């Protein structure tokens, strides 16, 4: 349910406008739909995601159920059509946000999954887990395209919960669609390229918890358990014309439609982020 105070004038800016009350446990994450609709999704330890319409006095539109344990994080695709939610017990779920139904569960992680982020064109999904890995998925097919490991050799599934000095806490896509940042408990920030299996740059950070790129991708901000926020200049590279064209195409075409194009196989692989 929602309680909504009367409208306020400019002199009252900064005061509480809306209080959404329905979750029964800690709310771990919030994300707005990028389309400007003021649709908000909240993720909670009560094992649910709740969809709120802030244009309708905060009316709760839907409860998304499927997680069997805590929900840690959620993220919209750039076109707002899809939502990813991640949580305890290896959970990675994709939701159709037009029908509010589950599309699929992505299988691959071996421990709790704590963060997720879509690429700017919506063609890729990054997830971070306590199994010391970041996976890059094709959200349209459920395939794992890339793996960024934070422990070498990587732990076997039976020991995936034991490498707690390498738990990955956060992952974020840069707006150039080429770079990813990750934070892990080994006191490191790593910058990755989507076409390389090793970090292109690393930096020291103790107690890292979350990270996000600036809009232009030039700065990464990272928050820590001790209340600090740190900033780094990020690796910069002028995207190739091929990559810019790929992003333009993938913004409007899911993988299944790309694979039906009458073009050479190598071009299909490139457009599908498989080379």
Domain ranges of the chain: 27-238, 240-274
Which band of pLDDT confidence, cut at 50, 70 and 90, is reported for residue 16? Answer: confident
Report the predicted TM-score, pTM, of the whole model to 2 decimal places.
0.92
Distances (CA, A) of 102 to 73, 82, 97: 16, 10, 9
pLDDT confidence of residue 159: 62
192 and 182 Cβ atoms separated by less than 8 Å: yes
CATH fold label, 27-238: Methylamine Dehydrogenase; Chain H (2.130.10)
pLDDT confidence of residue 154: 74
Which band of pLDDT confidence, cut at 50, 70 and 90, is reported for residue 164? Answer: low
Summarize pLDDT for 63-92 with one digit per residue, the tens.
Answer: 999 999 999 999 999 999 999 999 999 999
CA distance linking residue 40 with residue 30, whole number of Å: 7
Q: Select the more confidently predicted residue: 150 or 85.
A: 85
Kindly tell me if the per-residue pLDDT of 1 is higher than 60: no
- For the chain, report the end-to-end CA distance as a whole number of angstroms: 48
Summarize pLDDT for 167-201 with one digit per residue, the tens.
Answer: 999 999 999 999 999 999 999 999 999 999 899 99
Q: Select the more confidently predicted residue: 127 or 154.
A: 127
Kindly tell me if the per-residue pLDDT of 140 is higher than 80: yes
Kindly tell me if the per-residue pLDDT of 8 is higher than 90: no
């Amino acid at each position: 349910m929602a309680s909504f105070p009367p409208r306020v004038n400019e002199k009252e800016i900064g005061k509480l406008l809306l209080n959404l009350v329905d979750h029964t446990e800690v709310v771990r994450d919030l994300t707005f739909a990028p389309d400007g609709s003021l649709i908000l999704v909240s993720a909670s330890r009560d094992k649910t995601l709740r969809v709120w319409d802030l244009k309708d006095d905060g009316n709760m539109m839907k409860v998304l159920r499927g997680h069997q344990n805590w929900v840690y994080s959620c993220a919209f695709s750039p076109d707002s059509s899809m939502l990813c939610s991640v949580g305890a017990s290896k959970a990675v779920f994709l939701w159709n946000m037009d029908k509010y139904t589950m599309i699929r569960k992505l299988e691959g992680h071996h421990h709790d999954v704590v963060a997720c982020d879509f690429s700017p064109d919506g063609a890729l999904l990054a997830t971070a887990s306590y199994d010391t890995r970041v996976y890059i998925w094709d959200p349209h097919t459920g395939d794992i395209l890339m793996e960024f490991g934070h422990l070498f050799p990587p732990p076997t599934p039976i020991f995936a919960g034991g490498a707690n000095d390498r738990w990955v806490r956060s992952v974020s896509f840069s707006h150039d669609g080429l770079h990813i940042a990750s934070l892990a408990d080994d006191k490191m920030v790593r910058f990755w390229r989507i076409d390389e299996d090793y970090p292109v740059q690393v930096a020291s950070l103790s107690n890292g918890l979350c990270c996000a790129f600036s809009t232009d991708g030039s700065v990464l901000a990272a928050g820590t358990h001790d209340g600090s926020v740190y900033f780094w200049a990020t690796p910069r590279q002028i995207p190739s014309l091929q990559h810019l064209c790929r992003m333009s195409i993938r913004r409007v075409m899911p993988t299944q439609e790309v694979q039906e194009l009458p073009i050479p196989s190598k071009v299909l692989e490139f457009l599908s982020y498989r080379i």
